[in-house]
Chains A and B, each alone.
Chain A
Amino acid sequence: MTDAANSGRVGADRPPVILYEEVVKRYGGFVALNGVSARVHQGEVVCLIGPSGSGKSTLLRCTNALEAIEGGRIVFEGQTLPTPALAAPVRRRMGMVFQNFELFPHKSALENVAIGPRTVLGTAKAEAEEKAQALLVKVGLADKAASYPSELSGGQQQRVAIARALAMEPEVMLFDEPTSALDPETVGEVLNVMKRLAEEGMTMIVVTHEMTFARRVGSWVVVFDKGRVVEEGVPKQVFEQPREQRTRDFFSHLSWSG
């Protein structure tokens, strides 16, 4: 990557956590990722934006090897990502937050947060639950430990989901449109938790349609279209002086023109 391409990038001098090199992902004959190259440095908040269907979620699922890639490679902390069948040890070092929360409905909020360490790391119940409680405090849900997901609002569920991912003490957090399924009044509480995480120095990849969040919290913005990176840069440049026509097209489709 040239210096010019990284201009103004605050994290560029820090070690890369994730490297994407010419990543190709196909579903049958359909090419979902068509040679994606990008990088994420320690402590960066990289925001992936772009039209729906452009491959953003696919890239996240490939990042923690929930799906195999057909070409190129993904390097995490210096190691090429293994195939999905062998990826459990790598996945425990990455946290993932889903658009639909995907909390475990048969477990309480506390159990949802404790189950990762309990199952994967073999942490003792008391210790795991103590830590889970502390994480619920951190996301502002100290009083919801005993509640089941169906008893929580969308924003509360998503905050539990963030706590669940944090319980594994991941080196990087992957967010796939974490606020898209939320009622407008609960979006803010989730974004605030994410902002706080970013300020603590967590490395984050965030797929989002919340342009305000990308602008204010993002340290690097990557614009996707049709399975390719169209443009990337610091938020100020991408949002105020987009270099590519397709970026401008995307922004113009975002604004309501009724």
Chain B
Amino acid sequence: MTYDWSVIWQYRGALLSGVGTTILLSVLTMAIALPGGVLVMLMRRSPIAPVSWLGAAYVEFFRNVPAILLVYWTFYVLPIVAAIDIPPFTTGLLALALSVTAYNAEAFRAGVGSIRQGQWNAGLALGMTRSQTFLKIVLPQAVSRVVPAIANNWVSLFKNTSLVSVIAVGDLAYNAMQIRSQTYRILEVLTALAVIYWALGFPQAKFVDWLQKRYGVKE
């Protein structure tokens, strides 16, 4: 068996463009899923029962459905239901954002729940309303406590973007598979793919470790 690693260099353009798409997809997904997560968390905390029920239903649905199914569903079913053409990148983004929003909502909910009643009382005792106390006192503290959990969600998301390759979005995994089918260099391509994901993901994981030390157990 002979190896031909030159294919990797030969196709560096496609791999780099894949990396770019993967990063862009991750960033855009998180940009939607952060405010989305806060919104769903607020719904779950709503005193209006149907609203809080809707928030809970959202989380329980999207946390418990495989992300790949969401990717297929938004790609094949949504355009039919909505009767419009949606580019694969957008459907992939939507699928990931729906899923990560659910995870972020849970992280934010745990963060808000971890702020003790005394902080609420201190805000209320000054004459603040409940929503002022929430926005000025509770939420900022919850957000900093939630940083490690959100960072974890980010790392999972970064790897899970590879799921959109099944709907022909030109991310890193998809482009690598294209190179493989053109060159039949499966070992070289898959190895390179693993190395690239690892090289991108490892610093992120280390950064998360650092964040957990920095923000993790602190009162």
Q: Tell whether, in the assembled complex, residue A119 and residue B118 are in contact, meaning their CB atoms are under 8 Å apart.
A: no
Q: Tell whether, in the assembled complex, residue A104 and residue B122 are in contact, meaning their CB atoms are under 8 Å apart.
A: yes
Q: Tell whether, in the assembled complex, residue A120 and residue B141 are in contact, meaning their CB atoms are under 8 Å apart.
A: no
- The residues of B that contact A115 with a CB separation of less than 8 Å are 126, 136
Q: Tell whether, in the assembled complex, residue B126 and residue A98 are in contact, meaning their CB atoms are under 8 Å apart.
A: no
- The answer, yes or no, to whether B127 is at the interface (CB within 8 Å) is yes
- The answer, yes or no, to whether B132 is at the interface (CB within 8 Å) is yes
Q: Tell whether, in the assembled complex, residue A106 and residue B126 are in contact, meaning their CB atoms are under 8 Å apart.
A: no
Contact status of A119 and B128, CB under 8 A, knowing A106-B140, A106-B144? yes
- Of chain B, the residue at the smallest CB distance from A116 is B126
CB of B147, distance to nearest CB on chain A (Å): 13
CB of B191, distance to nearest CB on chain A (Å): 46
- Of chain A, the residue at the smallest CB distance from B123 is A104
Q: Tell whether, in the assembled complex, residue A168 and residue B127 are in contact, meaning their CB atoms are under 8 Å apart.
A: yes
| Binding site secondary structure of chain B | helix
- The residues of B that contact A64 with a CB separation of less than 8 Å are 125
- The answer, yes or no, to whether B177 is at the interface (CB within 8 Å) is no
How many residues does chain B have at the interface if contact means C-beta atoms less than 8 Å apart? 17
- Of chain B, the residue at the smallest CB distance from A117 is B126
Q: Tell whether, in the assembled complex, residue A102 and residue B126 are in contact, meaning their CB atoms are under 8 Å apart.
A: no
Q: Tell whether, in the assembled complex, residue B119 and residue A119 are in contact, meaning their CB atoms are under 8 Å apart.
A: no
- Of chain B, the residue at the smallest CB distance from A118 is B136
Contact status of A92 and B119, CB under 8 A, knowing A115-B136, A119-B132, A119-B136? no
- Of chain A, the residue at the smallest CB distance from B141 is A106
Most buried by A among B121, B122, B136, B141: B122
CA distance A165 to B125 in the complex (A): 8
B86-142 CB contacts (< 8 Å) to partner A = 118-119, 121-129, 132, 136-137, 140-141
Q: Tell whether, in the assembled complex, residue B126 and residue A92 are in contact, meaning their CB atoms are under 8 Å apart.
A: yes
Q: Could you say which of B124, B126, B132, B137 contacts A168, with CB atoms under 8 Å apart?
A: B126
The digit string for A79-117, where 1 denotes a CB below 8 A from any CB of B, is 000000000110111111010101111100000000110
- The residues of B that contact A89 with a CB separation of less than 8 Å are 127
- The residues of B that contact A93 with a CB separation of less than 8 Å are 127
Q: Tell whether, in the assembled complex, residue B125 and residue A104 are in contact, meaning their CB atoms are under 8 Å apart.
A: no
CA distance A250 to B118 in the complex (A): 28
Q: Tell whether, in the assembled complex, residue A120 and residue B118 are in contact, meaning their CB atoms are under 8 Å apart.
A: no
Q: Tell whether, in the assembled complex, residue A105 and residue B126 are in contact, meaning their CB atoms are under 8 Å apart.
A: no
Q: Tell whether, in the assembled complex, residue B121 and residue A102 are in contact, meaning their CB atoms are under 8 Å apart.
A: yes
Q: Tell whether, in the assembled complex, residue B132 and residue A120 are in contact, meaning their CB atoms are under 8 Å apart.
A: yes
CA distance A88 to B129 in the complex (A): 6
- The residues of B that contact A66 with a CB separation of less than 8 Å are 121, 124-125
A41-95 CB contacts (< 8 Å) to partner B = 61, 64, 66, 88-89, 91-95
Most buried by B among A61, A64, A94, A105: A105
Q: Could you say which of B118, B136, B141 contacts A98, with CB atoms under 8 Å apart?
A: B118
Q: Tell whether, in the assembled complex, residue A116 and residue B137 are in contact, meaning their CB atoms are under 8 Å apart.
A: no
Q: Tell whether, in the assembled complex, residue A91 and residue B119 are in contact, meaning their CB atoms are under 8 Å apart.
A: no
CB of B122, distance to nearest CB on chain A (Å): 4
CA distance A92 to B121 in the complex (A): 12
CA distance A225 to B123 in the complex (A): 30
CA distance A96 to B122 in the complex (A): 8
CA distance A64 to B137 in the complex (A): 19
CB of A53, distance to nearest CB on chain B (Å): 18
Contact status of A116 and B127, CB under 8 A, knowing A104-B137, A105-B141, A106-B144? yes
- The residues of B that contact A92 with a CB separation of less than 8 Å are 126-127
- The residues of B that contact A103 with a CB separation of less than 8 Å are 122
Q: Could you say which of A91, A100, A106, A119 contacts B125, with CB atoms under 8 Å apart?
A: A91
B185-209 CB contacts (< 8 Å) to partner A = none
CA distance A96 to B118 in the complex (A): 11
- The answer, yes or no, to whether A164 is at the interface (CB within 8 Å) is yes
CA distance A120 to B137 in the complex (A): 13
CA distance A219 to B77 in the complex (A): 76
Chain A interface residues (CB < 8 Å from chain B): 61, 64, 66, 88-89, 91-96, 98, 100, 102-106, 115-116, 119-120, 164-165, 168
Chain B interface residues (CB < 8 Å from chain A): 118-119, 121-129, 132, 136-137, 140-141, 144
Q: Can you list 8 A-B pairs with a CB-CB distance of less than 8 A? A: A66-B121, A93-B127, A95-B125, A103-B122, A104-B141, A119-B128, A165-B126, A168-B126
Please give me the 9 A-B residue pairs with the lowest Cβ-Cβ distance, nearest first: A92-B127, A102-B122, A96-B125, A116-B126, A120-B127, A102-B118, A91-B127, A106-B140, A88-B129
